[in-house]
Structure 1
């Protein structure tokens, strides 16, 4: 067994997107190949409605998948395929943009806390022009596994294989073989999570504090930081006087050229130009 260690640590930075929504962004465009197949992770977290009420009005995507995971608050999704749903706390939306999707995500509340994540996951060239697809899963459809005495993990995508059992999340059958976990490590506990050895693996800490137990040191993970892990088949996480929560992301690298422009992610500049032309001509979807 080979233990994964901290390779690089990135801090999320504040920015705005949509119609002016304040977000924390871990932008990895500066070195996309190193994070392959992941493209972007955004976190919305605010008690002030002025920070999120403008929402994300109608906009396009092509060439990748978006994963929206709500913690608190409610967001209404609408798209050109006729899907319209309200994401409740704990729900997950998995949207394959493929050839093209036009959608909006707007707050379904005028006060209170809004807390959620959106992950961008790349598609291989042969799948970029597939028809768009949309799936949504409520909190009750996402399995929760106990780890240790008080620690837990929610399995959104992939399969978590532990000694006693293997538990699968609702998202399966993707070519990038994504594992997407929401892990809570209780104060004073240590958990070991298996990860596919060949996959890129990331940890985004969003609550409390966590440590990566390594062979020669302990790496500290503060809130709103993204850790890229070295190669290996498992990671050991520990929480001391306070517990911590993090998203664990693992995916199979695509190993193809990546060219991105705003809401489009393709393999060549010519394909980006075609996406822009198609959208302007009303032929994206």
Structure 2
């Protein structure tokens, strides 16, 4: 769903500054899948409503071939965005889908679900991201939900400067994204900026926001954001958006959302509001009540 029309720039009057740069932590998950944890648990309060961002990208099948066998979730949403490669999703609610180049899988774990994400390739590159988006307390025990969004269903547009924008969630330059969420109002953009091109995005002052550069580099105000770095943007009441300029051809994610300002209790794949709710989630899983 690509728009070839030029769109007017978002008129950012005063851009947010970069608060700090974050280096992701190399780790593994599932059956030994190697990845970089960019948004870690200590940053959850600061980047509320986002709980985690993992980046994975490799040409070595040994780094991903085991995939993510059956595992549970409760209390939040997972958003998996595949840049390259193919993974098959199956879950205990009966959903199944193939995640492939440019596509997104959006899953609401709600009161509980068990799912698997397994590669459907034995060679070649696999690259993508998984973002965890919190649910408000009132929705944590909602029914599980799942949607496959194929690449051609993600709205895209190009700016006058040649910046290609994929609008996974939220709204950018008048273009509505593939997904909307009322409570958290997530903005999720995948940006391709040609060398020296600039991009502006209006952001509500109340929203927490960050940029993750996964190819190339950006300049934001007085801060250079190199590849494989996350820039947390300051919360400044007098600032109305973000402005970035590419240093060489660059790809980056711009993510923002309305904080829930609720307690966060996490134990592995369960994210609730209290320890008591976590104990119940573990007990329900052990008793087979998430299946």
Per the shorter chain, which TM-score range? over 0.9
- For 1:126, the equivalent position in structure 2 comes to 138
Matched, 1:173 2:181: yes
Deviations 1:135-185 (A, max 9, x none): 11111011111123321110000111x3xxx11011013310001000111
Among 7, 11, 21, the alignment partner of 1:9 is 21
Q: Secondary structure at the match of 1:274?
A: helix
- For 2:3, the equivalent position in structure 1 comes to none
Matched, 1:45 2:52: no
- For 2:227, the equivalent position in structure 1 comes to 223
Deviations 1:174-222 (A, max 9, x none): 310001000111102112111222111110110111111x2xxx21111
Which has the larger displacement, 126-135 or 170-179? 170-179
Q: CA deviation at 1:83?
A: 1.1
Gaps of 5+ in 1: none
Matched, 1:22 2:39: no
Matched, 1:244 2:250: yes
Q: CA deviation at 1:104?
A: 0.1
Q: CA deviation at 1:277?
A: 0.2
Which has the larger displacement, 44-53 or 8-17? 8-17
Q: CA deviation at 1:60?
A: 0.2
- For 2:111, the equivalent position in structure 1 comes to 99
Q: CA deviation at 1:225?
A: 1.2
Contact 1:205 1:224 (8 Å CA) reproduced: yes
Deviations 1:73-111 (A, max 9, x none): 000000011111111100001000010011000000000
Q: Provide the C-alpha distance between the structure 1 equivalents of 2:168 and 2:120, rounded to a whole number of angstroms.
A: 23
**Relative to 1, partners in 2 of residues 1:117 and 1:31: Cα closer, same or farther, differing over 3 Å?**
closer
Map 1:186-265 → 2, pairs under 5 A: 186-212=194-220, 214=221, 218-231=222-235, 232-240=239-247, 242-265=248-271
Q: CA RMSD in A?
A: 1.1
Gaps of 5+ in 2: 1-12
Q: Provide the C-alpha distance between the structure 2 equivalents of 1:253 and 1:188, rounded to a whole number of angstroms.
A: 32
Q: Secondary structure at the match of 2:118?
A: strand
Deviations 1:218-276 (A, max 9, x none): 21111121111013321111013x12111111100000110101000011111101000
Q: Provide the C-alpha distance between the structure 2 equivalents of 1:158 and 1:25, rounded to a whole number of angstroms.
A: 24
Contact 2:44 2:52 (8 Å CA) reproduced: no
Q: How many residues align?
A: 276
Q: Provide the C-alpha distance between the structure 2 equivalents of 1:173 and 1:204, rounded to a whole number of angstroms.
A: 21
Q: Secondary structure at the match of 2:161?
A: coil
Q: CA deviation at 1:12?
A: 1.1
TM-score by structure 2 length? 0.92
Q: Provide the C-alpha distance between the structure 2 equivalents of 1:258 and 1:135, rounded to a whole number of angstroms.
A: 25
